[in-house]
Amino acid sequence: MTAQRALVVAADMLTPYGAGADALWTGLLSGRTAISGVTRFSTQAFQSSSAGCVDGLSYHQGESLALQMLRRLFSRTQGAIPTNASLLLATTKGEIDILEQAVLTGGNDPAESGLGRLARKTADLAGLTGEVLVLSAACASASAATARAAAMVRSGRSDCVLVAACDGVTEFVYAGFSSLMALDPHGARPFDRGRKGLTVGEAAAYALIMSEDRARREGRPVLGEIAGWGMSDDANHMTGPSRTSEGLVLAIKKALQSAGAAGEEIGCISAHGTGTVYNDAMEMGAFRAVFGPQPLPIYSVKGGIGHTMGAAGLVEIITALRALAEATVPPTVNLREPDHDAEGWVSSVAHPLVGKRAALVTNAGFSGINTAVIVRAEARG
């Protein structure tokens, strides 16, 4: 059997910029951050008081944050998702606000916060009847799930996979990152010389990934291809990235090999770019090790929307496809003065992307997990 190309035929997102990929794209290009003060719980005891929150969500009242976001997202699909698609749900903490309520008020069964239960609810919202899996790889969950979806298509295991991803800004997560001293009191400033940490954000997104045969048969519009992927682990530290960058280097090399691509084919990099001192330095080390000293345009969306954790990879893959379609490298919002190792690579303004059809998306997470995904635009004409 011939290996099938894995094509993205539909995608959507809900982020702190609003509903849709357009809202995120316009927000990034405006240079305006969607990070603002947290109002849903007290941040008085924490290192920061800001987050990237989606407007109009209720907290500890009715449905979980994740389910509200997914419900809003899937109300916009307009029949784009076939009922027989397999579902891969990517998340780190899913409906953890249910457990929060159980502990704080005793009103819920904490087991209701289980990831499998959210996956079933997601399948019901999307109207799916096929295989349902939850994938969790810390803050690389969504890119890992997208890679697995593409692998399922490439290997012939499935011809249509829906990747859904979500995580909410909860007190549970916020307090945890604060205890790790990982939050920037001024809002995330990826690759900036003065960066001090990340900002927690929330989002939900989906991408429908289909074999080329089925996409053609159904006359689907093609947003791009998940051309290659690589996963690795630093095997070094539970919360800190490897200072040698070797894990991410391995993941990027695997992704290039998987895509049958040379480094020269990559037009820009959507970096994980959390804004923590160590993550951004680790990524720059990996980019220089793989691509050499000649700067390649990189950007991070996290100065705009914060770190959306289990949803981050998918938001960023969809945005990278948009960057290729628009032939534009978006700016890194909140960047004031690039760190010395990122000078010439990262910019606070948008740049044209000329003559390139591929982008690299990198993500990393606790336990030293690294993912690298290469997306390719379809040839024009």
Partner 1 sequence: MIEVGGIGWVTAREHGCAARGERTGSDDDGSLDRFFRDGLFAYPFKNHGRLDRASRLTAVGVALALRDAGLSYSAEEKQNIGIIGTSDEGSLASDLLYFKDYAECGRTLSRANLFIYTLPSSALGEAAIHFGLQGPLLYLTAERASLQAALETAEEMLELGEAEAMLAGAVNGQEALYFFLTRAGAGQPNRLGSAREARQKAAKGRTLGDVIQQFQRRQKGES
Q: Which residues bind partner 1 (CB under 8 A)?
A: 42, 44-45, 92-93, 96, 99-100, 103-104, 110-111, 113-116, 119-120, 131-138, 144, 148, 151-152, 154-155, 157, 171-172, 175-176, 178-180, 230-239, 246-247, 250, 254, 257-258, 365-369
Catalytic residue among 53, 60, 139, 268: 139
Nearest to 215 by CA among 1, 3, 6: 6
Cβ 231 to partner 1 shortest distance, Å? 4
Residue 316: alpha-carbon gap to chain centroid: 5
Which helix (H) or strand (E) segment holds residue 9: the answer is strand 6-15
224, 376 contact by CB (below 8 A):
yes
- Of the pair 60, 322, the CB lying nearest partner 1 is at 60
Is residue 307 among the annotated active site residues?
yes
Is residue 139 among the annotated active site residues?
yes
- Of the pair 154, 193, the CB lying nearest partner 1 is at 154
105, 98 contact by CB (below 8 A):
no
**Cβ partners under 8 Å of residue 264, min gap 6:** none
Cβ 29 to partner 1 shortest distance, Å? 33
Cβ 151 to partner 1 shortest distance, Å? 6
- Of the pair 133, 277, the CB lying nearest partner 1 is at 133
Q: How many angstroms separate the CA atoms of 144 and 310, rounded? A: 10
Residue given tokens 């998940």 in the structure block? 226
358, 374 contact by CB (below 8 A):
yes
Residue given tokens 């591929």 in the structure block? 358
Q: How many CB atoms lie within 10 A of CB 293?
A: 6
Cβ 56 to partner 1 shortest distance, Å? 25
Cβ 116 to partner 1 shortest distance, Å? 5
- Of the pair 97, 339, the CB lying nearest partner 1 is at 97
Catalytic residue among 60, 160, 268, 272: 272
Question: Could you write out the DSSP letters of every residue in 221-286?
Answer: ---EEEEEEEEEE--S-SSSPPTT-HHHHHHHHHHHHHHT--GGGEEEEE----S-HHHHHHHHHH
Tell me the two tokens of residue 51: 């987050």
- Of the pair 7, 152, the CB lying nearest partner 1 is at 152
Catalytic residue among 60, 160, 166, 307: 307
- Of the pair 140, 317, the CB lying nearest partner 1 is at 140
Cβ 316 to partner 1 shortest distance, Å? 18
Is residue 237 among the annotated active site residues?
no
Q: How many angstroms separate the CA atoms of 381 and 360, rounded? A: 23
Length of the chain: 381
Give catalytic residue positions: 139, 272, 307
